[in-house]
Amino acid sequence: MSEITNVPGIFGSDVFNESAMKQRLAPETYCAWKKCIETGTPLDLPVANGIAQAMKNWATEKGATHYTHWFQPMTGITAEKHDSFISPVGDGKVLMEFSGKELVRGEPDASSFPSGGLRATFEARGYTAWDPTSFAFVKDGSLYIPTCFFSYTGEALDKKTPLLRSMDEVSREAIRILRLFGDTETKRVVASVGAEQEYFLIPRDLYAQREDLRLTGRTLFGAPAPKGQELEDHYFGTIRTRVSSYMKDLDEQLWRLGILSKTKHNEVAPTQHEMAPIYTDANTACDHNQLIMEIMKKCAAKHNLVCLLHEKPFSGVNGSGKHNNWSLSTDTGKNLFSPGKTPRQNAQFLVFLAAFLKGVDEYQDFLRCTVASAGNDHRLGANEAPPAIVSVFLGDELNGIVESIINGTNYIEPEKSLMRIGVDVLPSIPKDTTDRNRTSPLAFTGNKFEFRMVGSAQSISGSNVALNTIMAEELGKFADILENAKDFDAALQKLVCETFTEHQRIIFNGNGYGSDWPKEAEKRGLSNLDSTASCLPAYVSQKNIELVTKHGIFTEAEFRARHEIYLETYIKVVKIEALTAVDMIRHQILPAASAYATTLCDAIVSKEAVGATCKAEHALVTKLSAATDALYDCCEKLVADLENAPEDVAEAATYYHEIILADMAAARKEADLLESLTDKSYWPYPTYSDLLFY
Ligand code: ADP
Ligand code: MG
C-alpha cells in the first residue's frame, strides 16, 4: 500500500462537485444549476444538455466509458445499470455522447425490484430521475448519477425520494418557527447527519469455508471461543497491520469520492471496527453511507478479508450498529439544537427541544419500526445495544432545566420556578459531559441527537425520514399556535411548559440495560416492540399513515408498499437462515459428529483388545451420540415447521419469529455442543477462535 501524500489533492477528485462544475460549466449554466438547488426550480433542457456535456467530458477524462443512473430501491441497497457513451457516426466509427435527456431521466428494466404491489396496480416500468442536489461521481469506469426511482404514475419506489420530501417538510416548518423569532434570513433549514458505521473484518479463506456466513452474513452455529470480549482489550486497541492497511486503502477511496471519512478505531468485539465520517446534509449522508458500505466490502476483497456488515455475525460478542447523529441547522450556519447565549436564543432552542420530545413520544413506534429487521432483532434489547424501547437521554444539566420548567408551571416550588422562557438565560449546558450513556437509544449530545438503534446493514434513510417528519409535524403544530398568539412570550412559556409536562415520560437518563427499565417503561406507557414481527403491524397504524400522508412523504399506497416489503424481506431472511441451518446440519455437522464417534468406537475395539481402559472414549461416544440424536430431532422438527409456515405474510412473520427461530436456537445448542466434543480435525468449518482471533 503506497503512502497517501496529498489528501487535499485527492479529496473529491472523482466527484463532479461544485468546484468542478464552476470550472467546467458555462457561467449561465452554472448559475441555472445553483438556482435549481437553492430554490427547487426545474432545469430546462438546454441547461441539462450543457451539464451533461460537461459531465461526460469530465468523466471520460477520468477513464469512464459508461454512465449509470444510481438509485436506492426498497431493498435498502443500491442498484445500477450501465450504458456506454458510444454513439455510431457511420464508417464503423463511434463518438462518446451524453445528452441532457439521458442525464435527467432513465428507464431501467425494473421489474425485479420489490414494489410492494405498487407497480402491479399501475405499470410495470420504473423510472429514474436525476437528483441534482447530490453530486455525480466516477467509480469503476462509470459515471454515477444519483437518482430517484419511481413508477409510471409517480409513486416513489425508493429510499431517496421520501428522504428528500421529508427534508423539504422539516425545512418549511422550521422556518415558520424561525420567522417568529425574528429570523428573516434563513432560506432553508438542513437536516444534517453523521452516521458512524460499525463492521467486522475476517479472513477471506475462513469465510469461504462457512456456508452460513456466505449465505446469510452471520454464523448460525459456533461454540463460544475460550476468550470473548471480556478483557476489553480490543476497544480502541492498536490496529493490526493488515487491518490498518485496509483502513488506509478505504480512506483513500472514500476521500476520492468526497466522503469525509474522519475517525477509525477498533470496536468492542474482537475483529470489530468503526468508521465515522464528518456530518453533512441528510441526503448526501445517506448516499455516502450506501457508498461506504459498498466500498468497505469491495476493499476488503483486495486485502483478502471479508467485511461483515450484518448486525450480529457472532453470538456472544457485540453486534454492529450505526449511530445516526442528527441535527437541524440553517443555511446561514446556525445549529438549531445548540442552546444559545441570549434568552431569545434559549427560548428558540427550547421550542425545538420540546418539539423533538413531543414528536419522539407521540411517534415512538414509527421510529422504532424504521430500525426493525431480522438482523437488528438480535441486537436491540440484548444488553449490547439500546433497548427496543424508545426513550430520550438529555443528561443531567438539560434534564434539570426541563424539570425546573415543568415545576415552574405546577407552582410546586414557586421560589424555584427559575425559568421564564424568552426572558431568562438558561444555565449553561456544558457540551459533551453527558453523552457517555451508551445505553440510550436516542441521546442528546450537546447540539445533536444520536439515534443509536439503526442496524449496521440498514439504509439510514428510513430513520432520518422519520426524524425529519415527526419534527416537521410538531414544529408545524407549534407554529400554528404561536403565529396566532396575542402575547407571544406568554404563549411560548405555556407551550413549552405544557409540552415538557405532557411528554416527560419519554425522557430517561438511567441505565437502559437495567432489568427494571422495561417495567418502569411499561408503567410510563411507553411501547416495547421487541421484534420485527411485533413492529410491522404498528408501522402502518392509522396515526402513522396520517402523519406521512399529511406531509406528503408517502401516499398511503407507498407507505403500505413499504410495510409489505419489510414483511416479505423478514420472512425471506429467516427462511434462508433456516434452510442454511438444515443444510449445514445434514451435510456437515451430523456427518462430522458421526465420523468422529466411529473413530472413537474403532479405538475402543482396538484398545479393549489389548486390555486398555477406554473410560474417556466411552463417555465421549455416549455424549456425542446423545447430542447427535437430539440434533437430528431438532433438524427434523425445523424442516416440518418450515413446511407448515402460514401463507399470510403477517401471520408468517410472527410464525417465523416464534417457531422457526426457536427451532434454530434449539438446533444450534446441540450443534455447538457437538462442536465442543469433536476432534477439531473432523469439524467441517472454522470455529469462533479461528474467526475472531485470526
Ligand atoms: P462520538 O459520538 O464518538 O463522541 P462525535 O460526537 O464527535 O463522536 O461525532 C460523532 C458523529 O456525529 C460524527 O459523524 C460527527 O460528524 C457527527 N456530528 C457532529 N456534529 C453534528 C451535528 N451537528 N449534526 C449531525 N451530526 C453531527
Ligand atoms: Mg457516537
Ligand nearest to the CA of 194: 1
User: What distance in angstroms lies between residue 87's CA and the mean position of ligand 2's atoms?
Assistant: 49
Per-residue burial over 210-233, b if 16 or more Cβ lie within 10 Å, else e, is: bbbbeebbbbbbbbbbeeebeeee
Q: Residues 144-191: pLDDT tens digits?
A: 999 999 988 888 999 999 999 999 999 999 999 999 999 999 999 999
Contact (CB, 8 A) for 481 and 495: yes
Partners of 451 in beta bridges: 324, 442
**Nearest partner of 359 among 250, 465, 288, 432, judged by Cα:** 465
User: What distance in angstroms lies between residue 438's CA and the mean position of ligand 2's atoms?
Assistant: 9
How confident is the model at residue 227, as a pLDDT?
85
**Nearest partner of 141 among 67, 39, 42, judged by Cα:** 67
Kindly give the pairing relationship between strand 66-70 and strand 82-84.
antiparallel
Residue the block writes with cell 456488515: 309
How confident is the model at residue 413, as a pLDDT?
40
Angle of the 282-302 helix axis to the 461-483 helix axis, nearest 10: 170
Enter the C-alpha cell of residue 156: 416513489
Residue 615 has pLDDT above 50, yes or no: yes
Q: Which atom of ligand 1 is nearest to the CA of 194?
A: 14
Residue 414 has pLDDT above 50, yes or no: no
Burial of 576: CB neighbours in 10 Å, binned 0-12, 13-18, 19+: middle
How confident is the model at residue 110, as a pLDDT?
67
Q: Which atom of ligand 1 is nearest to the CA of 447?
A: 23
Residue nearest to atom 16 of ligand 1 (CA): 278
User: What distance in angstroms lies between residue 106's CA and the mean position of ligand 2's atoms?
Assistant: 38
Query: What is d(CA 618, CA 675) in angstroms, rounded to the nearest whole number?
Result: 18
Is residue 261 lining ligand 1, measured as CB closer than 6 Å?
no
Residue the block writes with cell 418450515: 642
How confident is the model at residue 411, as a pLDDT?
37
Lowest-confidence segment of 150-154, 251-255, 315-319, 429-433 by average pLDDT: 429-433
How confident is the model at residue 123, as a pLDDT?
56
Enter the C-alpha cell of residue 410: 405546577
Burial of 515: CB neighbours in 10 Å, binned 0-12, 13-18, 19+: exposed
User: What distance in angstroms lies between residue 323's CA and the mean position of ligand 2's atoms?
Assistant: 6
Q: Residues 381-390: pLDDT tens digits?
A: 888 888 999 9
Residue nearest to atom 11 of ligand 1 (CA): 194
Residue 120 has pLDDT above 80, yes or no: no
Q: Report residue 313 CA to chain centroid gap.
A: 16
Residues near 244 by Cβ (< 8 Å), separated by ≥ 6? none
**Nearest partner of 500 among 408, 423, 387, judged by Cα:** 408
* % of residues, the chain, pLDDT over 90: 79
Query: What is d(CA 603, CA 620) in angstroms, rounded to the nearest whole number?
Result: 12
* Global pTM value: 0.95
Which of 81-90, 115-124, 231-240, 305-314 has the largest mean confidence? 305-314
Mutation test of ligand 1: which of 279, 393, 437 has the most ligand atoms closer than 8 Å to its C-beta? 279
**What ranges in 181-209 are assigned the alpha helix state H?**
204-208
Mutation test of ligand 1: which of 190, 442, 448 has the most ligand atoms closer than 8 Å to its C-beta? 448
Enter the C-alpha cell of residue 341: 447565549
User: What distance in angstroms lies between residue 197's CA and the mean position of ligand 2's atoms?
Assistant: 10
Is residue 432 lining ligand 1, measured as CB closer than 6 Å?
no
Give me the amino acid identity at 73: P
Give me the amino acid identity at 238: T
Residues near 100 by Cβ (< 8 Å), separated by ≥ 6? 43, 45, 46, 47, 48, 49, 50, 51, 52
- Compute the average pLDDT of residues 331-353: 91
Q: Which atom of ligand 1 is nearest to the CA of 276?
A: 14
- Compute the average pLDDT of residues 272-281: 96
User: What distance in angstroms lies between residue 201's CA and the mean position of ligand 2's atoms?
Assistant: 20
Is residue 277 lining ligand 1, measured as CB closer than 6 Å?
yes
Residue nearest to atom 7 of ligand 1 (CA): 278
Q: What is the CA radius of gyration of the chain?
A: 28
Residue 580 has pLDDT above 50, yes or no: yes
How confident is the model at residue 431, as a pLDDT?
54
Enter the C-alpha cell of residue 93: 466509427
Query: What is d(CA 492, CA 479) in angstroms, rounded to the nearest whole number?
Result: 10
Residue 408 has pLDDT above 80, yes or no: no
Task: Please tell me which residue, 121 or 457, carries the higher pLDDT value.
Answer: 457
How confident is the model at residue 427, as a pLDDT?
58
How confident is the model at residue 124, as a pLDDT?
64
How confident is the model at residue 118, as a pLDDT?
76
To the nearest whole number, what is the mean pLDDT of the chain? 92
Q: Residues 622-673: pLDDT tens digits?
A: 999 999 999 999 999 999 999 999 999 999 999 999 999 999 999 999 999 9
Is residue 448 lining ligand 1, measured as CB closer than 6 Å?
yes
Mapped onto helix, strand or coil, the DSSP state of residue 564 is helix
Is residue 541 lining ligand 1, measured as CB closer than 6 Å?
no
pLDDT category, 476, cuts 50, 70, 90? very high
Q: Which atom of ligand 1 is nearest to the CA of 327?
A: 24
Enter the C-alpha cell of residue 501: 409536562
- Compute the average pLDDT of residues 606-622: 97
- Compute the average pLDDT of residues 600-625: 97
Burial of 313: CB neighbours in 10 Å, binned 0-12, 13-18, 19+: buried
Query: What is d(CA 274, CA 267) in angstroms, rounded to the nearest whole number?
Result: 6
Length of the chain: 694
**What ranges in 458-555 are assigned the alpha helix state H?**
461-483, 488-503, 516-524, 532-539, 542-550
**Nearest partner of 246 among 194, 310, 203, judged by Cα:** 203
**Residue 615 parent element (H or E):** helix 615-643
Is residue 196 lining ligand 1, measured as CB closer than 6 Å?
yes
User: What distance in angstroms lies between residue 260's CA and the mean position of ligand 2's atoms?
Assistant: 16
Residue nearest to atom 14 of ligand 1 (CA): 194
Residue 18 has pLDDT above 50, yes or no: yes
User: What distance in angstroms lies between residue 251's CA and the mean position of ligand 1's atoms?
Assistant: 18
How confident is the model at residue 415, as a pLDDT?
43
Query: What is d(CA 380, CA 390) in angstroms, rounded to the nearest whole number?
Result: 11
Q: Which atom of ligand 1 is nearest to the CA of 196?
A: 14
pLDDT category, 421, cuts 50, 70, 90? low
User: What distance in angstroms lies between residue 139's CA and the mean position of ligand 1's atoms?
Assistant: 27
How confident is the model at residue 41, as a pLDDT?
79
Residue nearest to atom 19 of ligand 1 (CA): 279
How confident is the model at residue 339, as a pLDDT?
86
How confident is the model at residue 428, as a pLDDT?
57
Residue 50 has pLDDT above 80, yes or no: yes
How confident is the model at residue 121, as a pLDDT?
47
* % of residues, the chain, pLDDT over 70: 95
Residue 416 has pLDDT above 50, yes or no: no
CA 119, 125, 130, 135: dihedral to nearest 10 degrees? 80
Is residue 689 lining ligand 1, measured as CB closer than 6 Å?
no
